[in-house]
Structure 1
Amino acid sequence: MKISRHIHRQLRIKNLFHTTLWLSILFGLAWLSTLRPIHFDISAGSRNTLSSVSQNVLNSLTDKIVVTAYIKKDPALRSQIKQLIDRFKLHKPDIELTFIDPDSTPEKTRKLEIGASGAIIVDYLGRTERINFLDESTLTNALQQLTGAHVRWISFLTGHGERSPEGQANFDLSRFGEELAQRNIKAQTLNWAEIPAIPDNSELLIIAGPRVDLLPGEVSILHDYLEQGGHLFWLADPDSLIPSGLADYLGIDRLPGTIVDMSAGLYGINDPSFVIIPKYPGHPITQNLQTMTLFPAAAALQSREESSFDSEVLIKSSDKSWTDAEERKGPLSLAYALTRQIDETTEQRIIVIGDGDFLANAYLGNVGNLELGLRMINWLLRDDRYVAIPVKSAPDRHLQLTPLSVTLMGFGFLLIIPIVLLITGWLIWYRRRRR
């Protein structure tokens, strides 16, 4: 059948019209997607969707969030960070992400004390939070901390050779005090020889390694404070003095000597008096804490069976550690969290840790020391805003095989399959030869 010119022209116009129509539809859909992106999460367990907790936190923020990632030029790592921030931007578009190579700004990097592994700085309304490990949980918790506007006061006991939140020596805690101040936690010194009382605005008492014992009147003040349900943070350094009656009251004993940890060499530290903690027992303080912590010259602690407090181990040394005085083998407890119900609405919280150097000016910037210290203070102040966001995983990602199954699979792949292939090849060769 011969097609006339007229019909041929009509077919060309029709095809051109259809092509133009489909291209217009595609360009229109592409333009609409730029106005309001639509995202669908079809992964198992909705692993690529923020939790309702994170969404609620973002919805409560009214101002711009600035995230500065001091990360080396690692495309894979930067891509992971950008993907996470993009998930947050779906619910709060005014999040600004900036990447800075620490090597390109050495002075600023030194000032911020950013190590080789980098850091993430989150800024909101002029307040900052530092994150060493970025995931949904840590970023949400950082935003939670930045929204706190209430000023809280804590008291550092002085007058007995304790570490001072105002002192600039390596031994002191001024840098930690500055970090607390940025989070609306104000530190004040307390000398019972001058004012024999604890201020009414103080929500926490910190005893940071005294070198001389408390006077009888001071012991009485401390006892009354604890009896009334006051919160306490006791840095029980191995070379510090134990305040009279405090260990008996809390039911916590400090073992003689310091901890020797041979696993420190695995992290490039040749001094075994440095205790490295890469993982932690389950407790709200250390939940989702992904960074290791470092404790120079720490003492081991031991809880008593009979105590009015409920105790939980916060930090344990490795099984390659021991005490240098009695050579008690590890794992050894470095810190305890104590709780006691005062009445129906009041829970008393106390932390005892066998080291104060981890918060000192000389060591605060090491790995996760600052983050752990801040978590401890927030828990003691009953600020439980650190949220636990469950990890979403696909239901079919893990395959558990019995030892028999592993043996049979190994036997099959290493022996049976090669033999079958050899026999098959020989049969093919033999049949072809006989033809």
Structure 2
Amino acid sequence: MTVEKLINLGKQQLNAALLAVLLLFYVASGFSGKSFAYLMLLFLAALLYVGCGVLLYTTFKGADKKNGHFRLLQLAYWLMLAAVFFYTAQADAVWQKVAGESVQTFYERLRQILQILYFTGFATAIVTLLLSMAVKTEARGATQALVTGGGLLVLLVALNYWAHIRPASVDMTLMRRFSLSADSRELLRGIDGEIKVTAFYPFFSEMYRDVELMLRDAAAANAKISYTFIDPLREKNLADEKKVDRIGTILLEAAETEAGKGPRSTRFEILDEDAIKRFERELVSNILQISGKRKNIYYSQGHEEKSVSGPFADDTIAILDENLRALRHHVKQLTPQEGFPGKMPEADAVLIIGPRRDFTLAEKTQLKKYFDAGGKILVAVDPESAADFSFLLGPLKVKLAKERLHSDYALPPGKTTLQSANYSEHAITAPFVKRPEERKLTVFPGAGYFETGSETNADYDINYFVLSHFTSWVDTIRNGMRDDKKEPLASFKIGLAAKAKNNSGRLIFLTDSDFMVNRYIDMQQNKELALRTIAWLAEDEKLTGIVAGKYDDEKVKLTGAKDTVIFHLFLYIYPGLILLVGYIVVRNKKRRLTENREA
């Protein structure tokens, strides 16, 4: 066979040769190490690529360079070179020299863009080579078709990538299993510092996608939250750096540091489908833990207060306590073991919920001293209680009336389980005021009220943020029925918020404690009111939220292989098929028009 025949054969098989180059580069990209086979594949691919370039620019002459076949081959040739460049730029060996050990979101995004360009370049080159085999058309038609098709393909890939970095999804599962609750999103929106979440799962793990959907929702709620996945089996060196040796570990790291302790971090594990039910609570509470200072919150004890546990679960404050602990605060008991009443521990807030017996003089003195020094106290007491809090209310020129209010707007049975939708303008009740009545109701099963006069204390800002319904009255006759003449209707003050002007002292006083117990806390907006009240007291906005849980439901399951197929189908194959069909339709239409003109 003469040299001329070899050259002509090479020219005829240039498409196949370039496809072989693509195949060699693809196989080489799958090697994890720089072995001899890897180097040989690269050498053969480079040699064949250079040979194709020589054939392309030496065998096509004159009129050949003006036809569509040459233009398509030329475009495919340079697309392959660009794709190889992008692949090399994002490869570990090169990227570590560019970005170093940085874990900034900017470098991660840039690397993802390079990977998209690498895949898109190769995909476009393959489509171009396939078209060059089948299409014999004029240069201008080929160029226009290619520019249009390439532009649409780039647009579709860009839209896919934008959807990846700015995710928006619709969770159609019955209990919204794979999305955060509105309360959790509100909590995450309040995070100020950078939070990096690293999940340790193999790519083909069934848990990978379940976890990613929730992390994607968290990242969508706050742009300062970013996440990445590490396969501890294939990327053992990265897992060792984070000191993680168990699949299913979720590591959270905050950018800010604690004095002398380095960056804040915490971790938890989501190992199976059952653990997914608590994933939202774990994720949000752990993010909140490392994003701010933990508060020391104390419950008073020893006066028959509402307790966290007891023989009747409905009468405990276990749910309230669970929500406080979910936000990773230190919740303790104010007992002699803490030095009380001899001294007051370092408390960010003291909660006195439902005491039946009175406090001792030493306890009252210590609590008053704590409040006067800028301390923060919440008191929720029932009218039947023997506890006397005049040592706190007296300086405010307020008196607690120990009579149960009645109302025509009460829940049955009886008239004493008050419903309220009446609030004043205050930081605690700001969201309630703007809502329709059915979304701002709170329930108080047996509330007293405050008696006030014209005299006030200028050292405090006092706000009665919760009021009873205007159909309330005091049953002075004690027959459960209202006397129109002796028992007039009114709206009574049942919630007080006081703020000292001279220091950071704050006092919350509520004339009912039962609205916080398990039996009632999930009624209407009671839980939100309780947590917003404690949040204002402790000056901690993250306490205003409720870390929700999830219920089980049925879902569609995909294997790792199916998931990968779907990923590539919608990112490349499906858009490519649309473009190919469109191109064929346009080409056939132009051909018919040309034939009609010639006829």
| TM above 0.5 | yes
Change beyond 3 A, Cα 1:273–1:92 = same
Change beyond 3 A, Cα 1:159–1:64 = same
Q: How many Å apart are 1:192 and its aligned residue?
A: 6.1
Unaligned regions of 5+ residues in structure 1, if any? 1-9, 40-52, 66-83, 96-107, 113-119, 129-142, 388-435
Aligned twin of 1:336: 496
Matched, 1:349 2:492: no
Q: How many Å apart are 1:146 and its aligned residue?
A: 5.5
**Alignment check: 8 A CA contact 2:351 2:378 kept:** yes
Aligned twin of 2:170: none
Q: Report the secondary structure of 1:31's partner residue.
A: helix
Q: How many Å apart are 1:58 and its aligned residue?
A: 7.1
Aligned twin of 2:352: 207
Moved more, 239-248 or 354-363: 239-248
Deviations 1:168-202 (A, max 9, x none): 53333233223212222333333469843344222
Q: Report the secondary structure of 2:505's partner residue.
A: strand
Change beyond 3 A, Cα 1:222–1:15 = closer
Matched, 1:283 2:432: no
Which residue of 534, 540, 544 maps to 1:377?
Answer: 534
**Alignment check: 8 A CA contact 1:55 1:91 kept:** no
Q: How many Å apart are 1:336 and its aligned residue?
A: 0.9
Change beyond 3 A, Cα 1:90–1:384 = closer
Matched, 1:358 2:501: no
Unaligned regions of 5+ residues in structure 2, if any? 1-135, 167-186, 200-216, 229-273, 477-485, 545-599
Aligned twin of 1:314: 465
Q: How many residues align?
A: 310
Q: Report the secondary structure of 1:319's partner residue.
A: coil
**Alignment check: 8 A CA contact 1:259 1:300 kept:** yes
**Alignment check: 8 A CA contact 2:390 2:399 kept:** no
Q: How many Å apart are 1:335 and its aligned residue?
A: 0.4
Change beyond 3 A, Cα 1:30–1:56 = farther
How many angstroms apart in 1 are the aligned matches of 2:188 and 2:308? 34
Matched, 1:219 2:364: yes
Amino acid at match of 2:425: G
Q: How many Å apart are 1:164 and its aligned residue?
A: 2.4
Matched, 1:34 2:194: no
Aligned twin of 2:196: 62
How many angstroms apart in 1 are the aligned matches of 2:323 and 2:311? 14
TM-score (norm 1): 0.59
Change beyond 3 A, Cα 1:36–1:366 = same
Q: How many Å apart are 1:362 and its aligned residue?
A: 1.9
Change beyond 3 A, Cα 1:180–1:154 = same
**Alignment check: 8 A CA contact 2:423 2:467 kept:** yes
Aligned twin of 2:206: none
Deviations 1:138-170 (A, max 9, x none): xxxxx7x55545332222222222222444533
How many angstroms apart in 2 are the aligned matches of 1:298 and 1:64? 48
**Alignment check: 8 A CA contact 1:157 1:191 kept:** yes
Matched, 1:183 2:327: yes
Q: How many Å apart are 1:353 and its aligned residue?
A: 0.5
Q: Report the secondary structure of 2:195's partner residue.
A: coil
Aligned twin of 1:197: 342
**Alignment check: 8 A CA contact 1:168 1:361 kept:** no
Matched, 1:172 2:316: yes
Amino acid at match of 1:161: E
Amino acid at match of 2:498: L
Q: How many Å apart are 1:14 and its aligned residue?
A: 5.6
Change beyond 3 A, Cα 1:168–1:186 = farther
Q: Report the secondary structure of 1:202's partner residue.
A: coil
Deviations 1:30-76 (A, max 9, x none): 2222223599xxxxxxxxxxxxx9878376221279xxxxxxxxxxx
Q: Report the secondary structure of 2:415's partner residue.
A: coil
**Alignment check: 8 A CA contact 1:177 1:186 kept:** no
Matched, 1:229 2:386: no
Larger Rg: 2
Aligned twin of 2:148: 22
Deviations 1:268-306 (A, max 9, x none): x56532222346322112222464322111122244432
Aligned CA RMSD, in angstroms, stands at 4.2
**Alignment check: 8 A CA contact 1:63 1:125 kept:** no
Amino acid at match of 1:316: L
Identity over the aligned pairs, expressed in percent? 20
Q: Report the secondary structure of 2:331's partner residue.
A: strand
**Alignment check: 8 A CA contact 1:153 1:185 kept:** yes
How many angstroms apart in 1 are the aligned matches of 2:159 and 2:462? 55
- Compare the two structures and name the one with the higher helix fraction: 2
Change beyond 3 A, Cα 1:225–1:92 = closer
Change beyond 3 A, Cα 1:173–1:90 = closer
Aligned twin of 1:299: 448
Q: How many Å apart are 1:234 and its aligned residue?
A: 0.9
TM-score (norm 2): 0.44
